[in-house]
Chains A and B, each alone.
Chain A
Amino acid sequence: MNAANYLYISALLFTIGAVGVVVRRNAIVVFMCIELMLNAANLSFVTFSRINGDLDGQVMAFFTMVVAACEVVVGLAIIVTIYRSRRSASVDDASLLKR
């Protein structure tokens, strides 16, 4: 097996996450799909770190994890705030600016 196979799986997971963001309407599921995309990128970082033989990729993945954690905290707080005012966590319901 070639180490590049991890990159293929990373690409697949990223694509699945992107489809999820477009297709799903529950804001929490959309958010989880964004997390999936970040994780796929992390897998690429780790694999390239191994291919290149230095630890820079792993440090990058570490930073991505921290940023993802921040993003989850703020994003979920926003979802809760939206849910509190509209009683729904569907992304289609937050369409006040459209009208």
Chain B
Amino acid sequence: MQLALEVGKTAQPEAFMFWILGPMAVVAALGMLLVKKAVHSAILMAFVMVVLAIFYIAQDAVFLGIVQVVVYTGAVMMLFLFILMLVGVDSSDSLTETIAGLRPIAITAAVGFGGLMVSLLGRATLGRQAIGLSAANADGNVQGIANELFSTYVFPFEVVSALLITAAMGAMVLAHHQRTTVRPTQRQLSINRFRGESLGSAAGLPGPGVYARHNAVDVPALLPDGTPAPTSVNASLEARGDMLDYKSFDLSEVNTQIEEEK
């Protein structure tokens, strides 16, 4: 790896890459704030993360670049999209501000903070020349990191493993759903079915689409007499308003007479 050629100064191809990808990353990050839908934010975020991975690799941090792609764009963004799917993909933010004057204050503070950071960086000097990683990466980047990780940083490494296990436990505890009622047994369910107010569902519910003109899950089944059975469609589809209007599938409404050929 001879990407960080000179100290302080970077090679020409790297500068080229930086001036293309850097502004793109900043624009994508800004877009993350401005777009309305959370899914679009997530995709822009994934783009920023991929750009950062390229930056890592360009800066001789090959291992971190790969880990960035695998862990962030692979696992973390996948988790984000998964939760977005659970919470509802089209849950777009209303961009009106609830706290009066929050947005101007936030933007002023951000401009101040960003300006402070940038001017600080512009004025700071290391007092010596930058070194570059060609010496530290002489045995390979992965080997170098492994040397550090399993000698100097072995205790933090173990602590981090404990943290990971704790996080997994925490997620399990949070996701666990406590049952507040006793789970009905098969016997109880069967008794309820036959001793209920009607025998209509005694033979079990038909699946969606049975006898109907479509066999999609959002089409209610037709009972033998031609009337639709809305209970055959999954309740959550109905709650989301994704069930098709079953009026048009009612066979008693459809004209079943075959027109006479002339």
Q: Are A54 and B136 in contact (CB under 8 A)?
A: yes
Q: Are B121 and A11 in contact (CB under 8 A)?
A: yes
> How many angstroms between the C-alpha atoms of A3 and B61 in the bound complex?
14
Q: Are A55 and B136 in contact (CB under 8 A)?
A: yes
Q: Counting CB contacts under 8 A, is A32 at the interface? A: yes
Q: Which residue of A lies closest to B166 (CB)?
A: A70
Q: Which residue of A lies closest to B44 (CB)?
A: A32
Main secondary structure of the interface of B (DSSP, over half): helix
**Chain A residues whose CB sits within 8 angstroms of the CB of B147 once the complex forms:** 55
Q: Counting CB contacts under 8 A, is A94 at the interface? A: no
Q: Are B110 and A19 in contact (CB under 8 A)?
A: yes
> How many angstroms between the C-alpha atoms of A81 and B19 in the bound complex?
42
Q: Counting CB contacts under 8 A, is B164 at the interface? A: yes
Q: Are A63 and B156 in contact (CB under 8 A)?
A: yes
Counting chain B residues whose Cβ lies within 8 A of the other chain, the interface size class is 35 or more
> How many angstroms between the C-alpha atoms of A79 and B55 in the bound complex?
31
Q: Are A39 and B72 in contact (CB under 8 A)?
A: yes
Main secondary structure of the interface of A (DSSP, over half): helix
- Contact residue among A8, A53, A71 (Cβ-Cβ distance under 8 Å from B118): A8
Q: Are A5 and B22 in contact (CB under 8 A)?
A: yes
Minimum CB–CB distance from A6 to chain B (whole Å) comes to 6
A2-B8, A14-B117, A39-B72 known; A83+B87 contact, CB < 8 A:
yes
Q: Which residue of B lies closest to A79 (CB)?
A: B83
> How many angstroms between the C-alpha atoms of A68 and B102 in the bound complex?
28
Q: Are A58 and B61 in contact (CB under 8 A)?
A: yes
**Chain A residues whose CB sits within 8 angstroms of the CB of B257 once the complex forms:** none
Q: Are B76 and A1 in contact (CB under 8 A)?
A: no
Q: Counting CB contacts under 8 A, is B168 at the interface? A: yes
Q: Are A9 and B22 in contact (CB under 8 A)?
A: yes
**Chain B residues whose CB sits within 8 angstroms of the CB of A4 once the complex forms:** 8, 121
Q: Counting CB contacts under 8 A, is B191 at the interface? A: no
Q: Are B22 and A80 in contact (CB under 8 A)?
A: no
Q: Are B9 and A6 in contact (CB under 8 A)?
A: no
> How many angstroms between the C-alpha atoms of A22 and B107 in the bound complex?
10
**Chain A residues whose CB sits within 8 angstroms of the CB of B33 once the complex forms:** 16, 19-20, 23-24, 33
Mark A residues whose CB is within 8 Å of B: 1-9, 11-20, 22-26, 28-29, 31-33, 35-36, 39, 42-43, 46-47, 49-56, 58-59, 61-63, 65-74, 76-81, 83, 89-90, 92
